Structure 1
Amino acid sequence: MFDLIPFRRRSEDPFGQMLKSFNEMVEDHWLTPFGSNTQSFRTDIREEKDKYVVEAELPGIAKDDIEIDVSNNYLTIRAKRNEYHEEKDDSNNFIRKERRTGEFVRRFYVEQIDEDGIKAKLEGGVLKLEIPKRPGDDRSRKQIQID
């Protein structure tokens, strides 16, 4: 997080140093001690003519540990990870025992979709949702002129 150089070189940009320090702080997980219970995951959202396509990266998470629901115009994707690993020596004493649990949640505001037509598929650690648009809700875009 902090550079080991006790002084700043004259050629260094002070704003660049500040930005670098901020990025390092945000990238480090010291803000969420012990890996907070609620985290996020990366998603790509694409709009097509008749549907939205959501692709969420969920590597290592089983299909049974993923919950998807739509309620009050919000699409919620919730994934839980419970990993448990232990190693014992010949005397059946623990050498190492690790646990990692967490919940990953993303919520998206959605409207004018066909909730009954949503399809979900998990393949290669990527959850793909196809969310059809509700027929007849195709609004034309109107440009507003500024006076």
Structure 2
Amino acid sequence: MTNLAIRRNPVYTVNPWKEMERIFNTAISTDTEPRKPLVHVENEESRVVLTVELPGFASEDLDIQVNENLLTIKALQKGKKKKDEEITIFERSFVLPEDLNRESIKAEMKNGLLTLELLRKEKPAPLAIKVKG
């Protein structure tokens, strides 16, 4: 009696060499699109805290802007060929909810972590209306 090995063709097969090539190409990609940093968002009752991982950058390398309801964080690098040229290394944007106070945003850069604290607007107290009769 002989042992037969039955091989079935799976419905989906992955070529491991092509998969490794795809992973390698995305890791060393030279696309012109900036990379996006990792962000942790804490959504609390009174505030929203964004923690952005920015290793190797200083506070003067960052450009943080709020335009209407869009918060944009950019990391810029001074050009080596042209002194005034700035190159965007990465950029990340967030749509802000309407209940955040845009004027009281606090930003702190420490040990490669950017922390943004966005306070929520105070909700108006309930109003009682007296009816004359």
TM bucket (normalised to shorter chain) is 0.5 to 0.7
In the other structure, the counterpart of 1:129 is 116
TM-score, normalising length from structure 1? 0.61
Match for residue 74 of structure 1 among 59, 70, 74? 70
Overall identity of the aligned pairs, in %: 24
SS of 1:135 mapped into structure 2: coil
CA positional deviation for 1:26: 5.5
TM-align CA RMSD? 3.4
Structure index of larger Rg:
2
In the other structure, the counterpart of 1:54 is 50
What are the ranges of 5 or more consecutive residues in structure 1 without an aligned counterpart? 1-9, 85-100, 138-147
Range with greater deviation from structure 2 (103-112 or 75-84): 75-84
The letter for the 2-side match of 1:106 is: R
Asked if the contact 2:74/2:88 (under 8 Å) is kept, the reply is no
Q: Distance in 2 between matches of 1:12 and 1:129?
A: 52
What are the ranges of 5 or more consecutive residues in structure 2 without an aligned counterpart? 1-6, 81-86, 125-133
**CA deviation digits over 1:89-118, x for unaligned, max 9?**
xxxxxxxxxxxx652100000022111111
Asked if the contact 2:55/2:111 (under 8 Å) is kept, the reply is yes
> Cα 1:24–1:113, aligned 2, differ >3 Å: closer, same or farther?
farther
In the other structure, the counterpart of 2:14 is 17
Q: Distance in 2 between matches of 1:113 and 1:119?
A: 12
> Cα 1:30–1:44, aligned 2, differ >3 Å: closer, same or farther?
closer
TM-score, normalising length from structure 2? 0.66
